[in-house]
Structure 1
C-alpha cells in the first residue's frame, strides 16, 4: 500500500512528546486508527529506535493524543491519550499521560477548538476520556494564542518556558473507582514466585503501586541505566506490578496482567538523600521530600510521569501508606526527587471518620508546539 498522510501537530508536553490529532481527521474504525498510529510512530521496531517514524525509541517519546469536542458537561474538549509501543505489543488506551496533558490546553487553543481568551491567561477544562477525569489547564496567552515564552524551568527539559498549571480534579478512583482499591493503605502482595512484598496500591490520576526501595535491596538513588541492567530487579518489579494489578481489580488474573504493561504504574520510593541525577549534578537531601524511581512500559523512567507524581502526592497524604511513612509530615507541597531532578506537586486530601477523599492534585509543567502539518504513514 502506498503512503498516506493525515493532518497532525507535534507537541512537547513536560518531559514527553506526542503527535496530536483532531478526532475529526481520524477514521472511526479503531483498527484503522491504530494502524495509523503505529505507522506514524514507526512501530513495531525490533531495533528499539523507531527510525522509520516519529517515535524516539522510548515510551515518553512514543505517544499520541487525540482532541475532540467535549462529551463532558464540565469540560471544553475531550482528550484521549494513546501509548504506542516501541516494539511488539498493542496500542494502549488504558491510562492518561500527565506530561502530555500540559500541552492539550495550548493545542486546543491553537487548533481553534476553544475560543481565544480575552486577557493574558487562558483556562481550558480538559476531559480525559481514558480516566473520565477533568483537568483544568491555566497558561499565559498573547493575542489570543498560547505564549510559550517564560523563565519557568522543569528538570529533564533544556531551556525555559511559560508555566502551565494543571489541576487534576477529584483524581481518586481514576480507573478502579476507589482511591484505595484494596481498602488498605498497605498490602502484602503474593508474587508469582511465591514470595511476598509489602506495597501501597493507590488509584489517583492513574493507578500506582509503591514499594519501599529497601524491600527490593536498593537505595532508591539508582539511575535508569543501572536499573535497566539489573535483570533480577526488572523481573521482580514486574511481578509486583502484575500482583498489584490483580489485587486492585484491574485484571482478573496474572496472565491478563502480564498482557497489559501500562497499568498499574509501579515505583520504588525512598527517603530523601544526597545523590546524582542524569546530568551529573548532585541532588541534595535538603532539596526534596521523597525520592522515586518509576517504571514505564517495563523500563525505568528517566524522570517521573506527572500522573505518577500526583498519585505519589496523594499517597503521601494518606496515613499508613508507604509513601506517607517515608515522607513523614511534609508541610506544603511535595518535592519529588527523580532521576532528572525534582518535580513539585501538591494534593488536597480530606478525611473524616469513614472516608478519605482526594479533592485535587496540582503540578506545573511547560509545553511547546514543535510542528504542524501532515504526518505520513504506511
Structure 2
C-alpha cells in the first residue's frame, strides 16, 4: 500500500492520572472525535488503540496501558446532564488481550481522580471553587447510575495534589481525597435475598458464598473452603493457571446466581463484573512491600481478583462491597471479621491495609447501605495529548 494511503495519527487532548491504586487515561467528552462522543464501536476501538489492546504479548508496548487490570483504564468526563451534579463520569475497563471495553461497572480508585480532573479541565465554574478548603465535587457515575461525592482539597484556588497521606499500594504520599459512595447498592443489596448462598461450581461442588451488589457486584467466598489462608500475594495465585480457572468458574456461577448473565458462557464477555474475592479471619502476613501486617492491625483478610488475576491491592469498588458486607451481620465477610454490628472495617490486602466506613440499615425491603466512605489520593502524571491511529 502506498504511504499516502495511511492517514496521520489523531491528536486528542488527554490527561494521564493516578487515582488510588489505579491509573488511566482521562478525556473530556468534548475533546473526543465526534464518532467517539457517543457509545458504540467507534468509541471502543479508539480506547482500545489508545491503551494498546488487544496485545497478544501482554505488554501494552504500543499504547498507554500498563498491562494490568489496574492500569488498563479509560475515563470520559463531561458536564453533568443530571440535576445537582457537577460532572458525569464514564469508566471503561479495557481488556489487555481481548478486543473488549467493559462498561458494566465503576472504578472506585479512579473515582478519586474524577474530581481533580473536572477542576483541572475547567468543567466546574470557577466561582464554585473555594480559594482554600475542600471542593465537594458531585459526580454522576454513569456506568451504574450512582452519585459520588469527591472531596477535593484546594489550596490557593488550585487542586492540592501533594501531601503526607499514605495509601498502601501507592509508593509515594499525596494529598488525601475522601470519596463518598452514596447509596452504592441497588435497593436491597443482596440480589438473591440471602446473606449466604450456595453455588454449584463445576469441578468443585457446592460452595458457600455471599453475593452482594454494593459498589460493584461481588462474590465473597471463604478462603479456607478453597484451601487458602487469606494471606496470599499475587505470586501465590497468578502463576497457577488451574487456580485462576477455578476462580473464573466461581465467578461465572455467581454471576448467573446474581442474575447478571443467563449462562456461565456469557461471563467471558463480561470480564469487569462481577468480582470474586476470598476472605479469612485476621492473621499476620508480610505485604508485597515487605511491611509486616500484624493480626491486631486488621479486622479481616480479603483478596480479590480483577480481570482474571489477583489484584495487587484492592479495587475501590470492591472495598465498598467489603465494607457493606462486613457491616451486615451474618455475611461471610462479617463472620470472618468477628461478627456483630459494625460501622467500619479495616481489612488486609496484598499491599497492606485499608479502613472503610459504611452506614447500613435493615428495612422492610432488606438490608440497604446509605453511604460508604474511604480515603484515596490522586494526581496528574502527565497532561497534553495522546496520538492514536484512528480513522
- TM-score bucket (shorter structure): over 0.9
1:340 correspondence with 2:351: yes
Query: How far is 1:115 from its partner?
Result: 2.3
2:188–2:365: 8 Å Cα contact kept in structure 1? no
Comparing 208-217 with 83-92, greater Cα deviation is found at 83-92
Query: How far is 1:100 from its partner?
Result: 0.2
2:15–2:27: 8 Å Cα contact kept in structure 1? yes
1:216–1:233: 8 Å Cα contact kept in structure 2? no
Q: 1:194 to 1:60 in 2, by over 3 A?
A: closer
1:290–1:327: 8 Å Cα contact kept in structure 2? yes
Deviation per CA, 1:58-93: give whole Å up to 9, x if none. Answer: 010110000012122131100000011111241111
In structure 2, what is the Cα distance between the partners aligned to 1:257 and 1:186?
22
1:45 to 50, 55, 60: 55
- Partner of 2:197 in structure 1? 187
SS at match of 1:155: coil
RMSD: 1.4
Query: How far is 1:346 from its partner?
Result: 0.8
Q: 1:354 to 1:93 in 2, by over 3 A?
A: closer
Query: How far is 1:227 from its partner?
Result: 0.4
- Partner of 1:28 in structure 2? 37
The answer for unaligned runs of 5 or more in structure 1 is none
Query: How far is 1:293 from its partner?
Result: 0.8
- Partner of 1:17 in structure 2? 23
Matched ranges for 1:202-221 at <5 A: 202-221=212-231
TM-score between the two structures when normalised by the length of structure 2: 0.93
Query: How far is 1:42 from its partner?
Result: 1.0
Matched ranges for 1:129-168 at <5 A: 129-168=142-181
In structure 2, what is the Cα distance between the partners aligned to 1:204 and 1:250?
14
TM-score between the two structures when normalised by the length of structure 1: 0.96
- Partner of 2:119 in structure 1? 109
Moved over 3 A (4+): 329-332
1:134–1:168: 8 Å Cα contact kept in structure 2? yes
Query: How far is 1:155 from its partner?
Result: 0.5
Q: 1:18 to 1:40 in 2, by over 3 A?
A: same
In structure 1, what is the Cα distance between the partners aligned to 2:194 and 2:89?
32
1:369 correspondence with 2:380: yes
In structure 2, what is the Cα distance between the partners aligned to 1:74 and 1:181?
29
Comparing 207-216 with 107-116, greater Cα deviation is found at 107-116
- Partner of 1:5 in structure 2? 11
- Partner of 2:3 in structure 1? none
SS at match of 1:72: coil
Deviation per CA, 1:316-339: give whole Å up to 9, x if none. Answer: 111221001111237552111000
SS at match of 1:103: helix
Deviation per CA, 1:282-310: give whole Å up to 9, x if none. Answer: 11111111111100000110000011011
Query: How far is 1:144 from its partner?
Result: 2.0
1:99–1:305: 8 Å Cα contact kept in structure 2? yes
Matched ranges for 1:1-378 at <5 A: 1=6, 2-26=8-32, 27-29=36-38, 30-116=40-126, 117-118=129-130, 119-173=132-186, 178-193=188-203, 195-328=205-338, 329=340, 332-352=343-363, 354-378=365-389
Comparing 327-336 with 191-200, greater Cα deviation is found at 327-336
2:343–2:359: 8 Å Cα contact kept in structure 1? no
Query: How far is 1:270 from its partner?
Result: 0.8
In structure 2, what is the Cα distance between the partners aligned to 1:297 and 1:272?
26
SS at match of 2:139: strand
Number of equivalenced pairs = 375
In structure 2, what is the Cα distance between the partners aligned to 1:161 and 1:115?
25
Comparing 71-80 with 289-298, greater Cα deviation is found at 71-80
The answer for unaligned runs of 5 or more in structure 2 is 1-5
In structure 2, what is the Cα distance between the partners aligned to 1:230 and 1:335?
29
